[in-house]
Structure 1
């Protein structure tokens, strides 16, 4: 066998081995990419009640659909209704078109037509707020946004940019560009 034949056979074997190796790696990459895009599980028309460290209700979630991401264990929720208890055991109601919940449940992001309604208690007037985005941190009893917010209480309508609420103490703050309109009961 001459050196040209030996070189040809060696190159053929090298080409076959590298082709086989590339084909094998392509299959592995494609499979892992498919797994990351898939959901661990999907829930439909459900209610979940999450408890805190003391075994008391921390958050209740009702929605028509939820998917848990396999990649980062976060959850995407369609039309969520979150019920967050205050100090008196009454529930804040937070609704949106979509929601996202972190893997540990310490952050919720509500997007699209976000509606927040406080509980009606005897000494604190009911409050509602409307915005397009809201980030909620249940363990800190904090809700906030940098978007435009309209907040309504009996006899008063306030708008502003930026909003922060302590859900336990029911203290609210509009952060900038605040405009207030008073509507006395006699004018209604």
Structure 2
């Protein structure tokens, strides 16, 4: 093989190597693009107790459980087997449990997933009320703000509601009520049983 043929082979080899390097660099650059941007801020807590405040620093709820995962993209939290406590508009304490729960970052929406068991703690002024249901959503209205985005002093209290489309049983001092679906405020001053309602009266029970 003469010198000219060797020269052609060498040139082709250089071209082939350059093409391979270009492909490799493009692949490496594309792979690096997947990691562009700030690191995710997700975190998890095990065997935790959390006292949650809203954006203005007011008490929203407390919850404890074996595990909580917080999403960095939207600030929401997912909790396994939560044991929670909520204060209603009348200052009454509600305690409950569910299989899991999802809470938005502001603490205004709490979705209790799976079986739900909750009760209002009895005091000198209110009797105990028990609620058994599933897949329930508890919503708290955001605080009223002025044109500058500041909380309005002495604004009306924020309504708190609970709602479910699932079968529900409410145990009160003198009655037991069953229904499919329910809407209520947390102190049960107004309760709407949506369909297939059955009530058992327990006269004389205290």
Q: What value does the CA root-mean-square deviation take over the aligned residues? A: 3.0
Give the gaps of 5 or more residues in structure 2.
142-158
Aligned residue for 1:25?
A: 30
Structure 1: gaps spanning 5 or more residues? none
Give the Cα separation in 2 of the matches to 1:133 and 1:170.
22
Is the counterpart of residue 176 in structure 1 residue 181 in structure 2?
Answer: no
Task: Name 2:155's counterpart in structure 1.
Answer: none
1:147-171 superposed Cα distances (whole Å, 9 cap, x missing partner) = 1111111232211111112115643
Alignment partners' CA distance in 2, 1:54 and 1:24: 45
Q: CA deviation at 1:134?
A: 0.8
Larger Rg belongs to: 2
**Deviates further, 94-103 or 166-175:** 166-175
Residue in 1 aligned with 2:163? 144
The Cα shift of 1:122 comes to 4.0
* Number of the residue aligned with 1:78: 80
Q: TM-score, normalised by structure 2?
A: 0.71
* Between 115-124 and 142-151, the greater mean CA deviation after superposition: 115-124
Matched-pair contact (CA < 8 Å) for 1:76–1:98 = yes
Deviations 1:104-145 (A, max 9, x none): 222111112211211324454321111120111134411111
Deviations for 1:72-115, whole angstroms, at most 9, x for unmatched residues? 32111111122111234221113111111112222111112211
Aligned to 2:61: 59
Q: Which stretch has the larger CA shift, 92-101 or 124-133?
A: 124-133
Q: More deviation in 8-17 or 138-147? A: 8-17
* SS class of match (1:114): strand
Aligned length, in residue pairs: 181
**Counterpart secondary structure, 2:50:** strand
Q: Distance in 2 between matches of 1:26 and 1:8?
A: 27
Change in 2 beyond 3 A, CA 1:40/1:88? same
TM-score by length of 1: 0.77
